[in-house]
Amino acid sequence: MNMRGAEILLHCLKEEGVDTVFGYPGGQILPVYDALYSSDIRHILARHEQGAVHAAEGYARASGKVGVCISTSGPGATNLVTGIANAYMDSIPLVCLTGQVGTSMIGRDAFQEADICGITLPITKHNYLVEKLEDVPRVVKEAFYIARTNRPGPVVVDLPRDIMEKVIDYEPGDIEINLRGYRVMKGYNAGQVISAVEMIKGAERPVIYCGGGVINANAAAELTELAEKRKIPVTNTLMGIGSFPADNYLYLGMLGMHGTRYANYAIGESDLLIAVGVRFDDRVTGHLDHFAPHAKVIHIDIDAAEIGKNVVVDIPIVGDVKEVLAAINQRLDAVEGYSEWHKTIDRWKEEFPMRYGPSAEGRIMPQHVVEMIYELTGGEAIITTEVGQNQMWAAQYYRGKHPRSFISSGGLGTMGYGFPAAIGAKIACPDKVVIDIAGDGSIQMNIQELGTAAQYRLPVIICILNNQFLGMVRQWQGLFYGGRYSFTDIEHQPDFVKLAEAYGGVGIRVKDAGEVEAALKQAMEVKDRPVIIDFWVEREANVYPMVPPGAALSNMLGGD
């Protein structure tokens, strides 16, 4: 059958199960947009390519599917770069389709030409510059395969315009993946599993430290089974929130720089650390020499390169986290009892609970807003966050229960991530309440996406914890730079209520702590447009506890 390149491309996307894409049109991607015009693939028009790629990531994280975004060449493609780097750091499967100038123009600095494959080399799992139309079906197949298998990540497919315009006789058929240099990880070292089981049986003060890898592997059930069988306390990273139910008595909360005191103390006293789908990031470990000093380490991860990268591991197990945990669980009997270890932890929990100071004269404490969101949603919402104080308070005080329901920029720390990610999550899960916990700085980095949310009638709720500061940087300036608030005071702000209304959304301003609940309830009643709630919070509230950068985990400020 005679088909244009762009039509073949869309056909291949549908073969991969794609029904929704996020994008923004432009000159060199015109043929693809022309084909989309008569396609039943749903295209969500962002207002900026960065919005499109973050939305695709939010969609991927909420749904477990590969997120797809489309941009034109040059500036369209370079506007994706932050989102691609974000997905790479957080191991989220994305396929980014970028327009490119015609093959005869490549390398001549043509209008809107950028070497996106060169630019994204260190921030993609793989990328392709399509050189001929006949390659399109294989390239698309491989791109999705690479994006979603092993440790997931973003793949860029660069599509020269003439190839998308060209017509060939196309017969759809089965394509066999034949990648000599890429094998999907199967199985695990059974001997290592047995050693791990023995080590778990012998441990007196074990802790599970789990991360995004558990969510990517859909292994929350296996993880919970291990913890409950052996009564092992669980702490998670920011990326791991939701991999273990926060209302379980074994839950320690998040560890690391803004972790709970009891999680960090537990790491410090532990004799066995079971690290699952994590990469020992510096925000988690603090000073490496003082991290889990008494513990043997079992490290389970799909990516062999993560093992031994930052810490020495006693039992490395490379493999799919779900498979490996199931194998370990199978070899372990359930134990009963409440040991000295649990007693110690409960004492810490009692002595150092998560808490925050009262505010003066009815002003809103930002933590209170997050607690209220948790209470009103019962922990059943999808929470996205921006980056900074808002993100840490969300992680500390929203006690999420389910995987794929806490969506935050972990590795890259991208301000402006949360709102577009919330749009993607809402499209993936239209029946869930989706709330972006935002700061007044971050939200302004992708505020234009109000247009997208309004156009598609998406009732995404943005809760701005508005302290008129770039709060996390201000906090560091206060603690480590003598209170010199260099360019972090952003008192000059738009009227967020009017801004929401200007886009066709709903705007609510809350200045009094007594009105927080009513405002959230009002927002959750809105079913057909975005809502901004502008919470005027205590300006100089800090995120505590805090491990100063480079310090040992036990060396926490605040929360004592």
Partner 1 sequence: MKKHTLSVTVENKPGVLARVTTVIRRRGYNIESLTVGQTENPSISRITLVVTGDDPIIEQVTKQLYKLVDVIKIVDITEERSVERELVLVKVKADTSVRGEIVQIVDIFRGRIVDIGRSSLIVEATGDSSKIDAIEEALSPFGIIELVRTGKVAMVRGGK
DSSP letter, residue 547: P
- Residue nearer to partner 1 on the CB measure, 167 or 305: 305
Residue among 83, 19, 25, 89 nearest 57 (CA)? 83
Minimum separation from the CB atom of position 44 to partner 1 (A) = 29
- Residue nearer to partner 1 on the CB measure, 43 or 125: 125
For residue 244, what are the β-bridge partners? none
Minimum separation from the CB atom of position 126 to partner 1 (A) = 4
Minimum separation from the CB atom of position 130 to partner 1 (A) = 12
- Residue nearer to partner 1 on the CB measure, 143 or 425: 143
- Residue nearer to partner 1 on the CB measure, 303 or 515: 303
107 binds partner 1 (CB under 8 A): no
Ranges of H-type helices in 352-414:
366-377, 389-397
Residue among 125, 277, 292 nearest 207 (CA)? 292
Q: Hey, what amino acid is at 420?
A: P
362 binds partner 1 (CB under 8 A): no
Beta carbons within 10 angstroms of residue 174's beta carbon: 7
Minimum separation from the CB atom of position 248 to partner 1 (A) = 35
Binding segment for partner 1 (CB under 8 A), chosen from 37-45, 63-71, 169-177, 305-313, is 305-313
Minimum separation from the CB atom of position 468 to partner 1 (A) = 38
Minimum separation from the CB atom of position 56 to partner 1 (A) = 21
Applying CB under 8 A, the site for partner 1 has a residue count of 17
Residues 208-247 that bind partner 1 (CB under 8 A): none
Decide if 417 contacts 386 (C-beta within 8 A): yes
Structure tokens at 136: 């399109």
Q: Characterise 308 by phi-psi region: left (phi > 0), alpha (psi -120 to 50), beta (else).
A: left
Q: How far apart are CA 189 and CA 187, in angstroms?
A: 7
Q: Are strands 20-23 and 2-4 parallel, antiparallel or unpaired?
A: unpaired
Residues 285-304 that bind partner 1 (CB under 8 A): 303-304
Among 119, 182, 314, 485, binds partner 1 (CB under 8 A): 182
Q: How far apart are CA 252 and CA 266, in angstroms?
A: 9
521 binds partner 1 (CB under 8 A): no
Minimum separation from the CB atom of position 139 to partner 1 (A) = 12
- Residue nearer to partner 1 on the CB measure, 180 or 484: 180
- Residue nearer to partner 1 on the CB measure, 121 or 190: 121
Minimum separation from the CB atom of position 390 to partner 1 (A) = 31
Residue among 62, 128, 53, 39 nearest 94 (CA)? 53
Question: What mask of x and - would describe binding to partner 1 in positions 139 to 158, judged by CB under 8 A?
Answer: -------x------------
Q: Are strands 272-276 and 206-210 parallel, antiparallel or unpaired?
A: parallel
Minimum separation from the CB atom of position 154 to partner 1 (A) = 13
185 binds partner 1 (CB under 8 A): no
180 binds partner 1 (CB under 8 A): yes
Residues 117-136 that bind partner 1 (CB under 8 A): 117-118, 121-122, 125-126, 129
Q: How far apart are CA 101 and CA 111, in angstroms?
A: 8
What are the backbone dihedrals phi and psi of residue 71, each rounded to the nearest 5 degrees, phi first?
Answer: -140, 170
Structure tokens at 65: 């599917």
- Residue nearer to partner 1 on the CB measure, 91 or 264: 91
Minimum separation from the CB atom of position 183 to partner 1 (A) = 10
Structure tokens at 102: 């015609």
Residue among 22, 226, 6, 237 nearest 100 (CA)? 6
Cα four-point dihedral sign 394, 396, 398, 403: positive
Q: How far apart are CA 87 and CA 52, in angstroms?
A: 13
Among 308, 430, 494, 549, binds partner 1 (CB under 8 A): 308
Beta carbons within 10 angstroms of residue 345's beta carbon: 22
Decide if 110 contacts 70 (C-beta within 8 A): no
- Residue nearer to partner 1 on the CB measure, 122 or 482: 122
Decide if 221 contacts 505 (C-beta within 8 A): no
Q: Is 180 exposed, middle or buried (0-12, 13-18, 19+ CB in 10 A)?
A: exposed
Minimum separation from the CB atom of position 36 to partner 1 (A) = 28
Minimum separation from the CB atom of position 150 to partner 1 (A) = 9
- Residue nearer to partner 1 on the CB measure, 3 or 89: 89
- Residue nearer to partner 1 on the CB measure, 305 or 518: 305
Cα four-point dihedral sign 288, 291, 294, 296: negative
Q: Which residues of the shown chain bind partner 1 in the complex (CB under 8 A)?
A: 117-118, 121-122, 125-126, 129, 146, 179-182, 303-305, 308-309
